């Protein structure tokens, strides 16, 4: 290609518009990194900043550049990641790509090209206009060049206290709340350093002074607002007020555009709600990790819950006098009439064998909430009912049990009843609990019949394999543009072929490039009757292109931890770095008790060396072979002594 015209009108206009948008913010550099509400427009844009924007636009637009990026049989090189046209970053990890193999350089310095075609370097900038040049010389001697021009303005990004500001995204609570009279509202936010902050409550003209903790260029302000004394059933508004410190150059207090509604209710004023959706999540708290809060239980339709608070769109559920949970308002319906938490008395329970597994039957006379806690170290399952109490000590054990040793129970609080299901082995093959008639029935599966020492060690097993993402869900994108969904599907097919050749029935949960919901994937494996579920994914994360790397496996239910460990140990034989075995991982597809289920994150697409390996079909075959070997290792250890 010919060099671009230095007077390209479209490029100049685009840069002018960009600079006009960002340079005023640069000029107000004290606020560049805070998401403030209403403060950036307090001061007029200085004339000097506008002049610099115009000057920078002319300099960048007037700089000739060349970019041989079209390909089409000709040598080519292109940028994949570069800084914005105007930046305050003194250096940037510039990512480029060309056909492999080539001798590549960044700003004249030879760098490594990976087999995916990518290459990169950390480029430092001088104040003013900077040219970034990527070059690729092909084996035949032909050369491609691509240039990118940026404007670097060095500036102090320390946030100044004046005019007063508050990071709107930092203010807690982040949602309206309904609370009991004895509770406190914890308010906190980040704002101008060294000031005085107040929390105002209306109506009532109550103000609570915040305590302050100072950091480099901001302060964190915290206050606890007691709601006792507020009229019940009345909507009160919390707002934040930042008052300038003594001697400040400003006199007026700053009130960000923030208000939260607080309603105080007595316990009897909160309703009962009934679960209406399958797999409704009852979580411990409203923490927001990437895959959702930690889950207490997945409840089915009909379970009745007592509300004792609300935050945003989530009801807080009273389980006992010491335990609570949260459930989304879209998963329940409010019940009219009675508002008392349901309670009933147990008179007996039993356990015995069935065709598919040992079964525990617990009277379930009211639709109270329940949960199962897996405890492989204690070789037991703990079933908890909230709203049940024991009226007798009649526990029946029938002969012929293969997995369950015995039942014991505990009334841990007046309304919390626990059943301890003691197991003969920690190597179990799944369990399920659900209401049936007037009982809560826990089924613990018998192990499938297989022989890990046979020529076909998987004969007798049904293995489901989930290729992560698919269709419009691309998953992680590699440095070169490699899409995770494609890597996952390829390795899933390779693993499936190995398992089928060794005697297993195989279900490819996602058998093509299509969209599927996570619950749909999980249900497909369970409904098919799979004995084991392996989810295949690839990872991404970290800064730079050679930072976070390695292979990893994940389990949610601790009974499946040995399977995750066995596969992980084999994956390390590929030479991939360790990222670890991660427990209690909240991925919906493998968050199941019905069968051993683990997630494999093969490697990091965001790491140049890992991506290079994942792009290689031979390496993907090796990954499939190691996952298969890990499954066989697990099977050798998972056969319980009692069959």
pLDDT digits (tens, 9 = 90+) for 331-362: 999 999 888 999 999 999 999 999 999 999 99
Let me know whether 107 and 190 are in one domain.
no
When pLDDT is averaged across residues 502-520 and rounded to a whole number, the result is 98
pLDDT cut 90: percent of the chain above it? 83
Domain annotation covers residue 290? yes
Number of domains forming the structure of the chain: 5
Q: Give the CA angle between residues 429, 435, 436 to the nearest 5°.
A: 100
Looking at residue 290, its pLDDT comes to 63
Looking at residue 43, its pLDDT comes to 35
Domain annotation covers residue 455? no
Residue 295 has pLDDT above 70, yes or no: yes
Closest CA to 598 of 536, 543, 558, 555: 555
Let me know whether 230 and 329 are in one domain.
no
Looking at residue 11, its pLDDT comes to 44
When pLDDT is averaged across residues 281-304 and rounded to a whole number, the result is 86
Neighbours of 483 (CB within 10 A): 18
With beta carbons less than 8 A apart as the criterion, state whether 42 and 111 touch. Answer: no
When pLDDT is averaged across residues 547-560 and rounded to a whole number, the result is 98
pLDDT band at 72 (very low <50, low <70, confident <90, very high): confident
3-class DSSP state for residue 588? helix
The DSSP-derived string for 373-399 is EEETTTTEEEEEEETEEEEEEEEEE-S
3-class DSSP state for residue 10? helix
The whole-angstrom separation of Cα 223 and Cα 187 is 5
Distance from chain centroid for Cα 346: 40
Let me know whether 131 and 15 are in one domain.
yes
With beta carbons less than 8 A apart as the criterion, state whether 432 and 407 touch. Answer: no
Looking at residue 237, its pLDDT comes to 97
When pLDDT is averaged across residues 245-257 and rounded to a whole number, the result is 96
The whole-angstrom separation of Cα 130 and Cα 104 is 20
Residue 50 has pLDDT above 70, yes or no: no
602-635 burial, b if ≥16 CB within 10 A, otherwise e?
Answer: bbbbbbbbbbbbbbeeebbbbbbbbbbbbbbbbb
pLDDT band at 291 (very low <50, low <70, confident <90, very high): low
3-class DSSP state for residue 482? coil
The whole-angstrom separation of Cα 437 and Cα 590 is 29
Residue 31 has pLDDT above 90, yes or no: no
Let me know whether 120 and 183 are in one domain.
no
Average pLDDT of the chain, as a whole number: 90
Let me know whether 517 and 628 are in one domain.
yes
pLDDT band at 223 (very low <50, low <70, confident <90, very high): very high
Domain annotation covers residue 368? yes
**What are the angstrom distances between the C-alpha of 564 and each of 62, 256, 287, 596?**
58, 49, 26, 9
Looking at residue 38, its pLDDT comes to 34
Domain annotation covers residue 632? yes
Burial bucket for residue 107 (CB in 10 Å: 0-12, 13-18, 19+)? middle
pLDDT band at 29 (very low <50, low <70, confident <90, very high): very low
The domain that holds 302 is classified in CATH as 2.30.30.40
**What are the angstrom distances between the C-alpha of 474 and each of 179, 470, 511, 542, 611?**
42, 6, 15, 19, 15
Looking at residue 57, its pLDDT comes to 65
Residue 66 has pLDDT above 60, yes or no: yes
Closest CA to 459 of 492, 509, 428, 500: 500
Let me know whether 85 and 174 are in one domain.
no
22-39 burial, b if ≥16 CB within 10 A, otherwise e?
Answer: bbbebbbbbbeebebbeb
Task: Give the β-pairing of 260-264 and 235-243.
Answer: antiparallel
Looking at residue 524, its pLDDT comes to 98
When pLDDT is averaged across residues 404-413 and rounded to a whole number, the result is 96
Q: What share of the chain is helix, strand, coil (3-state, %, to 5)?
A: 20, 40, 40
Looking at residue 48, its pLDDT comes to 60
Whether residue 556 has a cis bond before it, omega within 30° of 0: no
The whole-angstrom separation of Cα 628 and Cα 614 is 17
Let me know whether 483 and 629 are in one domain.
yes
Domain boundary among 314, 334, 354: 334
Give 120's strand partners.
95
Domain annotation covers residue 340? no
Domain annotation covers residue 157? no
Let me know whether 534 and 590 are in one domain.
yes
The domain that holds 195 is classified in CATH as 2.60.40.10
Residue 196 structure tokens:
């005085």
Looking at residue 33, its pLDDT comes to 28
The domain that holds 415 is classified in CATH as 2.60.40.3500
Residue 25 has pLDDT above 50, yes or no: no
The whole-angstrom separation of Cα 597 and Cα 529 is 13
Residue 591 has pLDDT above 80, yes or no: yes
When pLDDT is averaged across residues 478-488 and rounded to a whole number, the result is 98
The whole-angstrom separation of Cα 514 and Cα 491 is 16
Burial bucket for residue 312 (CB in 10 Å: 0-12, 13-18, 19+)? middle
Domain annotation covers residue 396? yes
Domain annotation covers residue 75? yes
The whole-angstrom separation of Cα 546 and Cα 53 is 35
Structural domain including 408 reads 345-445
Ranking 21-35, 230-244, 245-259, 405-419 by mean pLDDT, the lowest is 21-35
pLDDT digits (tens, 9 = 90+) for 555-572: 999 999 999 999 999 999
Domain boundary among 211, 241, 264: 264
pLDDT digits (tens, 9 = 90+) for 13-22: 444 444 444 4
pLDDT digits (tens, 9 = 90+) for 384-398: 999 999 887 799 999
Let me know whether 478 and 621 are in one domain.
yes
Let me know whether 248 and 380 are in one domain.
no
3-class DSSP state for residue 558? helix
Ranking 121-125, 295-299, 442-446 by mean pLDDT, the lowest is 295-299
Let me know whether 28 and 147 are in one domain.
yes
Sign of CA dihedral 77, 78, 81, 86: positive
Which range of 54-68, 69-83, 329-343 scores highest in mean pLDDT? It is 329-343
Close Cβ partners of 323 (under 8 Å, ≥ 6 residues apart): 386, 416
Ranking 46-55, 57-66, 224-233, 414-423 by mean pLDDT, the lowest is 46-55
Looking at residue 12, its pLDDT comes to 44
Selected residue with higher pLDDT from 155 and 315: 315
Looking at residue 265, its pLDDT comes to 97
Let me know whether 503 and 628 are in one domain.
yes
E-state strands within 107-173? 109-111, 118-124, 128-137, 143-152
Looking at residue 16, its pLDDT comes to 43
Looking at residue 391, its pLDDT comes to 84
When pLDDT is averaged across residues 213-218 and rounded to a whole number, the result is 98
Domain boundary among 96, 120, 152: 152
When pLDDT is averaged across residues 510-523 and rounded to a whole number, the result is 98
Is the overall model pTM greater than 0.85, yes or no?
yes
Residue 35 has pLDDT above 50, yes or no: no
Looking at residue 338, its pLDDT comes to 85
The domain that holds 560 is classified in CATH as 3.40.630.40
């Amino acid at each position: 290609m010919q060099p671009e015209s230095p007077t390209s009108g479209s490029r100049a206009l685009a840069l002018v518009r960009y600079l006009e948008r960002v340079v005023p913010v640069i000029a107000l550099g004290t606020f560049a990194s805070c998401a403030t509400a209403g403060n950036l427009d307090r001061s007029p844009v200085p004339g000097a900043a506008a002049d610099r924007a115009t000057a920078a636009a002319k300099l960048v637009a007037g700089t000739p550049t060349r970019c041989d990026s079209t390909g089409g049989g000709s040598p080519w090189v292109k940028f994949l990641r570069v800084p914005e046209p105007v930046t305050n970053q003194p250096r940037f990890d510039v990512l480029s790509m060309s056909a492999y193999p080539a001798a590549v350089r960044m700003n004249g310095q030879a760098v490594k090209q990976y087999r995916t075609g990518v290459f990169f370097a950390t480029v430092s900038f001088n104040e003013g206009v900077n040219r970034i040049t990527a070059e690729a010389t092909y084996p035949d001697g032909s050369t491609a060049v691509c240039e990118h021009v940026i404007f670097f303005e060095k500036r102090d990004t320390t946030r100044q206290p004046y005019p007063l500001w508050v990071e709107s995204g930092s203010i807690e609570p982040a949602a309206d709340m309904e609370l009991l009279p004895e509770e406190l509202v914890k308010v906190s936010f980040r704002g101008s350093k060294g000031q005085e902050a107040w929390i105002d409550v209306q109506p009532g003209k109550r103000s609570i002074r915040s305590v302050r903790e100072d950091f480099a260029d901001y302060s964190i302000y915290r206050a606890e607002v007691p709601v006792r004394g507020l009229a019940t059933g009345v909507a009160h508004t919390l707002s934040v007020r930042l008052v300038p410190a003594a001697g400040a150059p400003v006199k007026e207090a700053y009130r960000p555009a923030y208000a939260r509604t607080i309603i105080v209710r007595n316990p009897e004023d909160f309703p009962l709600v009934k679960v209406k959706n399958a797999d409704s999540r009852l979580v411990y708290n409203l923490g927001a990790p990437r895959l959702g809060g930690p889950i207490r239980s997945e409840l089915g339709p009909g379970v009745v819950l007592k509300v004792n608070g609300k935050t945003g769109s989530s009801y807080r559920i009273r389980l006992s006098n010491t335990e609570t949970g949260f459930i989304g308002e879209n998963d329940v319906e409010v019940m009219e009439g009675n508002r008392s938490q349901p309670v009933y008395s147990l008179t007996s329970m039993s356990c015995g064998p069935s065709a598919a597994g040992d079964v525990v039957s617990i009277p379930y006379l009211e639709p109270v909430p329940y949960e199962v806690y897996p405890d492989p170290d204690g070789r037991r399952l703990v079933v908890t009912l909230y709203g049940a109490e024991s009226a007798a000590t009649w526990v029946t054990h029938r002969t012929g049990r293969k997995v369950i040793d015995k039942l014991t129970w505990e009334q841990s609080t007046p309304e919390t009843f626990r059943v301890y299901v003691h197991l003969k082995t920690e190597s179990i093959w799944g369990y399920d609990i659900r209401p049936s008639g007037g009982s809560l029935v826990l089924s613990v599966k018998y192990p499938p019949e297989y022989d890990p020492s046979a020529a076909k060690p998987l004969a007798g097993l049904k293995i489901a394999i989930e290729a992560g993402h698919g269709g419009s869900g691309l998953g992680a994108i590699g440095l070169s543009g490699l899409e995770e969904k494609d890597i996952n599907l390829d390795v899933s097919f390779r693993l499936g072929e190995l398992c089928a050749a060794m005697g297993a029935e195989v279900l490819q949960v996602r058998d093509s490039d299509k969209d599927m919901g996570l619950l749909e994937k999980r249900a497909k494996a369970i409904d098919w009757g799979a004995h084991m579920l392996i989810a295949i994914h690839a990872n991404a994360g970290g800064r730079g292109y050679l930072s976070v790397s390695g292979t990893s496996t994940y389990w949610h239910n601790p009974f499946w931890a040995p399977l995750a460990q066995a596969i992980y140990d084999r994956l390390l034989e590929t030479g991939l770095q360790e990222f670890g075995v991660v427990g209690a991982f909240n991925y919906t597809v493998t968050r199941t008790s019905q069968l051993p289920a683990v997630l494999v994150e093969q490697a990091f697409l965001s790491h140049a060396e890992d991506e290079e390996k994942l792009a290689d079909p031979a390496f993907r075959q090796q990954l499939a072979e190691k996952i298969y070997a890990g499954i066989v290792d697990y099977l050798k250890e998972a056969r319980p002594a009692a069959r």
